[in-house]
């Protein structure tokens, strides 16, 4: 139940971010199943990975290591120096030119 409460809050945050300038820059989420997201009217764009970190983001790890590791609730990548908010193919940008932001939702008991 605590995990689902966390995921509900996370989905609301991502849903709100998707409506703004950062929506197209979210590349990963770990906020529950597609079924649960659909129950909150949240459909992720095709470029967003859910539950498994994108392989290109951690090229030195095996597929098993990526699946077994934990990640943040969401990752938002902003290319440094991008003008007018236009999203470029972030996989083609050298990592030193990326501003990687982890989104982590926490509750205080």
pLDDT tens per residue, range 2-27: 688 888 889 999 989 888 887 888 88
The pLDDT of residue 74 is 92
Compare 86 and 20 and report the one with higher pLDDT. Answer: 20
Is the pTM above the cut of 0.75? yes
For Cα atoms 53, 62, 56, give the angle at the middle one, nearest 5 degrees: 45
Identify whether the C-beta of residue 40 lies closer than 8 Å to the C-beta of residue 8. Answer: yes
Report whether pLDDT(83) > 60: no
Beta strands in 1-109 (DSSP E): 26-29, 49-50, 74-79, 98-103
């Amino acid at each position: 139940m605590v995990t689902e409460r966390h995921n509900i809050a996370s989905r609301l945050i991502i849903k709100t971010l998707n409506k703004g300038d950062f929506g197209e820059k979210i590349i990963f989420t770990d906020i529950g199943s597609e079924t649960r997201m659909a129950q909150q009217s949240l459909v992720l764009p095709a470029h967003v990975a859910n539950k498994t970190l994108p392989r290109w983001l951690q090229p030195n790890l095996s597929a098993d290591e990526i699946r077994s590791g934990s990640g943040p609730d969401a990752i938002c990548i902003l290319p440094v120096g991008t003008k007018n908010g236009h999203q470029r193919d972030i996989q083609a940008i050298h990592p030193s030119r990326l501003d990687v932001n982890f989104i982590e939702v926490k509750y205080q008991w």
